[in-house]
Amino acid sequence: MRKIFLTALATMMVSGCAHAQEGHISNLADVSADAKPHVQTNVDYKLYDANANSMVDVDKALARARVRGTKVMVVMGANWCHDSRGIAARFDKPEFQTLIKDNYELVYVSAGTDPGQKDQNREVSKRFGVDAIEGTPTVFIATPEGTVLNEDSAGFWRRAESIPLDMSYAYFDMYAKR
Q: Binning pLDDT at 50, 70 and 90, where does residue 6 land?
A: low
Q: Binning pLDDT at 50, 70 and 90, where does residue 44 land?
A: low
- Average model confidence (pLDDT) across the chain: 82
The Cα 60–Cα 113 span in angstroms is: 23
Question: Does residue 35 carry a pLDDT above 50?
Answer: no
Ordered alpha helix ranges (H), the chain: 2-12, 54-68, 82-91, 94-103, 122-127, 165-176
**Three-state DSSP class for residue 107:** strand
Beta bridge partners of 142: 72, 148
Question: Does residue 24 carry a pLDDT above 60?
Answer: no
Choose between 164 and 31: higher pLDDT. Answer: 164
Q: What's the pTM value of the predicted model, to 2 decimals?
A: 0.78
> Which of 171, 162, 165 has its CA nearest to residue 15?
162
Spell out the CATH class of 2-176.
alpha beta
pLDDT digits (tens, 9 = 90+) for 98-140: 999 999 999 999 999 999 899 999 999 999 999 999 999 999 9
